[in-house]
Amino acid sequence: MEGPAAENIILEAGKSGELISVFRLVEETQANGEIKFSPTICRDLAKAVSCRTYAGAVLELCHLVHVADARGGGGGYVHFFWGHGPARPAGFKGAIRNSLKNPTWRGTEVTVTDSGVDIAYSDGGFSITYSRMPFLSALMEFLISSIGFGDLNDVFAGMLGPGISKDAVSRCANELSRCVYDYLKDHLPTAQNMRKFHCLIGFMKERHGVDFTPSAIDDETILDFWISKTADGPAAEGDFKTYESVFRAFLRLRHALEQAAGLYALDGARSIGANREAGEVDPDSIHAMVETVDEYRSPLLVLQEPPAGAIKFLNNKEMAGLELLMDCGKAAFDLALSLMRCEVFTKKQGRVTQALRRRADAGELRGIIDECALVTYEDRREEYARKSFHMDNMLLASLYALVRARNEEAISLIVALRPDLDLRPLANLLRIGKETADNVVMLSSKSVSDRFMDMIGDADKAGKDMVALVADAREAFNGVSRRGFSAERLDESAVVDGFAVGGMVLLGVKEHLADFLRKLENARLPYENWTRQFDADKDVFTKQFHILYEGS
């Protein structure tokens, strides 16, 4: 296959190369040899852009630019945003404090507090916290990479220097928001997304009637839709060529339907207008819906950044292998087969498109398609089980680190890891103050947790099971040779904080995976087991790939 026809097969509609490259630029930006923006900050930025909830942040950014220009030394705001290493609250705090004595210009009254800066204009005040500055810095990076330094600098010119009013800053922010709107109008794939949306809704109505529910989006529906959309072979529309694009589209539709149903239940759709262009839509409501859907994904981001990032709980491959499962949230349990199809067959579909890009000959292409799965469902299930085992081990190792550091989170981990552990031997020894009931163990009290830590290794006091758990934890810790798992570093507070925060986050990820594994174990499949299901699905995918990429 050659030329435009091949490209047509590969490219997926709805993806703006320009916008993707700008986001990659922001994500990959380095400062002092480190990644400048944390994954959570980048994800928050993507949400603000996708939900069009950037206006408030643009206003904050303009106020910060106004202050930063005074505090940034000779280069003004440019030095403030780009001259202080990775974007962290402490870095911006230091930059502002250090420049207090030597501002570029004076005029606006700025008070530096422990939490941020208070700006007193002649016509009102504005405050910005240090914790907000990393996000505003990422927004600045996005704006400069999309709109450009020249246009951005022109907008900012109206609000720099002494004697500027709060109103003038607001006017500049409005102008900047208009620039962002114009840029996104050309680069957000809204039209393609709308087309996809109406196509999916049309299919659901046709298949299930107008009274379909979110749960009507099931494994069979998703597969049938993909087969129908790829039936035209190489001439098929670009929106739904890959099975993964179909799975993700239905997943997102299901998420959106569930969220809107929640709005209905609360009768809270008041702020949602029926016309976005007429300004009747409250973007914050959409942002809140997206935020809720995204809750399952965020733990993986938290594990990559301080303080949890100091500990390598999961490597990149392990992390990547969990992303789709976490993106699905609870929908993974209802769409377990679809998710497995996606995990097993779409990687190979990616190889087919790569082969097309390098214009592989027909024989090679056919070979790749015939061997259309790198692993079976059973392999994949075992892989998930191995990850679950690995996470159990990491949690056990984390427990040892926390016990050694006498960190209170050790107690939460013990309860989570061994919910059936008999804590009665400790009960009498831990009672403090007036008793209200004989069986109360007040684990939340700081003094109790201190006593708990004193006794945890003593079999006579804590019981044999507890002592055995701590011994297992020590063994697990000593058996891990990854970043952070070093006895010598357990005195460092950053490392202990990493175990405390990361341990609890990892626990949430592990519980989601454990629930999914149970679902796989008990799944009702069209065929009698996962092995038979794989054989049947392999025939379906092979046939469909031949149709899609070879025409028959």
Residues 342-361 that bind other proteins (CB under 8 A): 350, 353-354
Task: Kindly state the smallest distance separating residue 368's Cβ from other proteins, in Å.
Answer: 14
Angle CA(531)–CA(534)–CA(538) in degrees, nearest 5? 150
Cis peptide before 299 (omega within 30 of 0): no
Find the binding residues for other proteins in span 364-393 (CB under 8 A).
Answer: none
Torsion angle, alpha carbons of 70, 74, 75, 80, to 10: -50
Q: How far apart are CA 374 and CA 348, in angstroms?
A: 7
Q: Which is nearer to other proteins, 205 or 532 (CB)?
A: 205
Find the binding residues for other proteins in span 16-45 (CB under 8 A).
Answer: 16-25, 28-31, 36, 42-43
Task: Kindly state the smallest distance separating residue 144's Cβ from other proteins, in Å.
Answer: 5
- The residue within the footprint of other proteins, chosen from 111, 213, 228, 444 (CB under 8 A), is 213
- The amino acid sitting at 10 is I
Q: Which is nearer to other proteins, 261 or 362 (CB)?
A: 261
Under the binding rule (CB under 8 A), the answer on residue 56 touching other proteins is no
Task: Kindly state the smallest distance separating residue 195's Cβ from other proteins, in Å.
Answer: 11
Site string for other proteins, 293-332 (x = CB under 8 A): xx--------------------------------x-----
Site string for other proteins, 81-120 (x = CB under 8 A): -xx-------------------------------------
Q: Which is nearer to other proteins, 197 or 333 (CB)?
A: 197
Residues ≥6 apart with Cβ < 8 Å to 436: none
Segment lying near other proteins (by CB under 8 A), choices 247-255, 392-400, 409-417, 472-480 = 247-255
Under the binding rule (CB under 8 A), the answer on residue 141 touching other proteins is yes
> What 8-state DSSP symbol labels residue 272?
B
Task: Kindly state the smallest distance separating residue 317's Cβ from other proteins, in Å.
Answer: 13
- The residue within the footprint of other proteins, chosen from 6, 58, 289, 509 (CB under 8 A), is 289
3-state secondary structure of 37: coil
Task: Kindly state the smallest distance separating residue 13's Cβ from other proteins, in Å.
Answer: 10
Q: Which helix (H) or strand (E) holds 158?
A: none
Task: Kindly state the smallest distance separating residue 101's Cβ from other proteins, in Å.
Answer: 15
How far is the first Cα of the chain from the last one, in angstroms, to the nearest whole number? 14
- The residue within the footprint of other proteins, chosen from 197, 199, 379, 390 (CB under 8 A), is 197
Segment lying near other proteins (by CB under 8 A), choices 103-111, 158-166, 183-191, 329-337 = 183-191
Q: Say if CB 118 and CB 111 are below 8 A apart.
A: yes
Q: Say if CB 225 and CB 248 are below 8 A apart.
A: no
Find the binding residues for other proteins in span 456-515 (CB under 8 A).
Answer: none
- The residue within the footprint of other proteins, chosen from 35, 110, 263, 416 (CB under 8 A), is 263
Q: How far apart are CA 62 and CA 66, in angstroms?
A: 6
Q: How far apart are CA 334 and CA 524, in angstroms?
A: 10
Q: How far apart are CA 158 and CA 165, in angstroms?
A: 10
> What 8-state DSSP symbol labels residue 318?
H
User: At 424, phi and psi to the nearest 5?
Assistant: -60, -35
